[in-house]
C-alpha cells in the first residue's frame, strides 16, 4: 500500500506501475505542449482572418500518431487520450482565440476597450443563452434521433472519439508518411505565400487564407469571404467575377456557376501573375555628365 501511494501522485487509474505512470505523464506533457502551440496558432488565424471559429484538422494526439505511430503508446494511454478529444479538436472554447480577437477589435474600434468589453459581455450572455435555447428547441421539436436533425453535433460529437479509438485499437498505425508529407507540403506552400506576400505589395493571396481554406468554418462561410474578396479587386476582376457567376447560374445552376467562375478566375489570375512578372522596374539612375564649367576648372 505504501508503494502504491508513493508513485501514484495523481492516482491515475490507467497506470499499472511507477514507470508506467511516469511514462504517461511525459507523453501527456508533450501533448499539452503541442496543444498550447496549436491553440496559439488557431487564435492567431481566427484573429487575423476574421472567421468566427476554427477547427484544427489534426488534434495534438493525431500529430503524435502521424509522426511516431500508435505503437509508442499503450492501449490504456490511447483510452486516456480519447477523453481529451472533444476539447483539443474544436478550439471554440479556447480562451486565447477570443482574447486575441478581442484585443484586435479593441485596437480598431473608435470606442476602445470599454466599448469592446461591453459588447463582449452582451455577446457572451446572448450567445450562450441563445445557443442553448436553439439546440434544445430543435431537439424537443423534431427529436434528437429523428432523421431531420443534423448528425453533427447532436449525434456524432459524443460517439466520434470512441469510434476513432476503436479504429486505432483494431488497426494500429505506424509512421503515417502521407500525413507527414502533407504537413511538409503545406509548410512549403505557406512559406512560398509568405515570401510572395512580402516581396510584392499587391500580391492578392494572403498566407492566412491558405491556412484557413480547408477549415470547417470556411466550409460554412466561404461565399461571404469570396464576395468580399472579389469586391476588393480591380474593376476588371469584379466585372469578370460577377459576369461569370451570372452566366454560370443561368447555364447550369450552382454547378455551372462553380465551373465558370473557376475558369474565369484561372484566366484572370494567369493574366494578373503575367503582369506581375513583367512589371517594369525603375531604370538605374544615369550619372549626370560633367558641366563645361567644371571641365574648365579642372
Per-residue pLDDT of the chain (298 residues; tens, 9 = 90+): 443 434 344 444 555 567 777 777 777 787 788 788 888 888 888 887 777 767 777 777 788 888 888 887 878 778 878 887 777 776 666 777 777 877 787 777 776 677 777 877 888 889 889 988 988 888 888 887 776 777 777 777 778 888 888 888 888 888 888 888 888 898 899 899 889 888 887 787 888 878 777 777 677 777 777 666 666 655 666 677 778 888 888 787 777 888 888 888 788 777 777 776 776 665 555 555 555 555 444 4
Q: Give the cell for residue 102.
A: 478581442
Same-domain pairing of 180 and 212: no
- Contacts (Cβ under 8 Å, ≥6 apart) of 161: 82, 83, 85, 86
Same-domain pairing of 195 and 223: no
Same-domain pairing of 181 and 228: no
Nearest to 236 by CA among 267, 257, 207, 260: 267
Measured in whole angstroms, how far is the alpha carbon of residue 240 from the centre of its chain? 29
Same-domain pairing of 211 and 194: no
35 in Cβ contact with 86 (< 8 Å):
no
116 in Cβ contact with 105 (< 8 Å):
yes
Q: Is 8 left (phi over 0), alpha (psi -120 to 50) or beta?
A: beta
The number of distinct structural domains making up the chain is 2
- Contacts (Cβ under 8 Å, ≥6 apart) of 6: 18
Same-domain pairing of 163 and 270: no
Cis-peptide, bond into residue 20, ω within 30° of zero? no
Residue 42 is assigned to a structural domain of this protein: yes
Phi, psi of 55, rounded to the nearest 5 degrees: -135, 120
Same-domain pairing of 194 and 251: no
Domain span at 252: 207-277
**pTM check: above 0.85:** no
Same-domain pairing of 166 and 259: no
Amino acid at each position: 500500500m505504501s508503494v502504491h501511494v508513493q508513485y501514484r501522485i495523481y492516482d491515475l487509474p490507467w497506470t499499472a506501475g511507477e514507470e508506467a505512470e511516469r511514462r504517461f505523464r511525459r507523453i501527456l506533457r508533450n501533448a499539452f505542449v503541442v496543444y498550447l502551440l496549436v491553440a496559439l496558432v488557431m487564435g492567431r488565424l481566427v484573429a487575423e482572418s476574421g472567421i468566427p471559429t476554427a477547427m484544427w484538422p489534426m488534434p495534438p494526439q493525431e500529430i503524435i500518431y502521424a509522426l511516431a505511430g500508435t505503437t509508442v503508446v499503450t492501449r490504456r494511454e490511447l483510452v486516456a487520450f480519447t477523453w481529451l478529444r472533444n476539447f483539443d479538436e474544436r478550439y471554440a472554447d479556447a480562451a486565447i482565440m477570443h482574447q486575441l480577437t478581442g484585443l484586435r477589435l479593441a485596437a480598431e474600434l473608435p470606442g476602445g476597450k470599454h466599448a469592446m468589453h461591453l459588447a463582449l459581455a452582451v455577446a457572451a450572455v446572448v450567445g450562450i443563452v441563445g445557443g442553448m435555447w436553439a439546440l434544445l428547441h430543435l431537439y424537443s421539436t423534431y427529436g434528437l434521433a429523428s432523421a431531420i436533425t443534423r448528425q453533427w453535433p447532436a449525434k456524432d460529437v459524443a460517439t466520434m472519439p470512441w469510434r476513432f479509438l476503436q479504429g486505432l485499437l483494431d488497426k494500429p498505425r505506424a509512421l503515417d508518411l502521407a500525413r507527414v508529407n502533407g504537413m511538409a507540403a503545406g509548410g512549403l506552400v505557406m512559406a512560398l505565400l509568405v515570401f510572395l506576400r512580402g516581396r510584392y505589395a499587391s500580391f492578392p493571396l494572403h498566407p492566412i487564407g491558405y491556412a484557413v481554406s480547408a477549415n470547417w468554418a470556411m466550409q460554412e462561410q466561404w461565399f461571404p469571404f469570396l464576395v468580399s474578396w472579389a469586391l476588393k479587386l480591380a474593376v476588371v476582376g469584379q466585372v469578370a467575377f460577377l459576369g461569370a457567376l451570372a452566366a454560370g447560374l443561368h447555364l447550369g445552376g450552382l454547378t455551372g456557376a462553380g465551373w465558370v467562375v473557376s475558369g474565369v478566375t484561372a484566366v484572370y489570375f494567369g493574366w494578373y501573375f503575367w503582369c506581375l512578372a513583367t512589371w517594369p522596374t525603375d531604370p538605374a539612375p544615369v550619372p549626370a555628365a560633367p558641366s563645361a564649367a567644371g571641365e574648365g576648372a579642372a
